[in-house]
Amino acid sequence: LLFQHPGGEEVLLEQAGRDATESFEDVGHSTDAREMLKQYYIGEIHPVRTCPLPTMGIFWSTWLIPIFGALVLGLMYRYYMLEGRAS
């Protein structure tokens, strides 16, 4: 079907891996094309189910590392400043 498509193979390749229902309907295919659709029909694409992410977990994972890094840098700075005065 790819090489026999009247619109060229590029049209089909652009829609590969996606739901092409809207594009198919927009073009206004003939009755023969709709009959061929039944022959090549594979199935329907269902939306992906997603689980809600815990908002508190995202907050801690996003801010914990930068806060810890700033704390370590602050302690290192203080240590080196005190050591510099003692020398």
3-state helix, strand, coil in the chain (%, to 5): 65, 0, 35
Tell me, yes or no, whether 43 and 62 share the same domain: no
On the question of pLDDT at 86 being above 80, the answer is no
Please provide the average confidence, as pLDDT, over all residues in the chain: 80
Tell me, yes or no, whether 2 and 41 share the same domain: yes
Token pair in block for residue 38: 């039944």
Domain that holds residue 57: 51-87
Give the chain's domain count. 2
Q: Which helix (H) or strand (E) element contains residue 54?
A: none
Tell me, yes or no, whether 34 and 60 share the same domain: no
Tell me, yes or no, whether 34 and 56 share the same domain: no
pTM confidence score:
0.41
What digits encode the pLDDT tens for the residues 40-80?
A: 888 776 777 766 666 666 666 678 888 999 999 999 999 88
More confident site: 71 or 37: 71
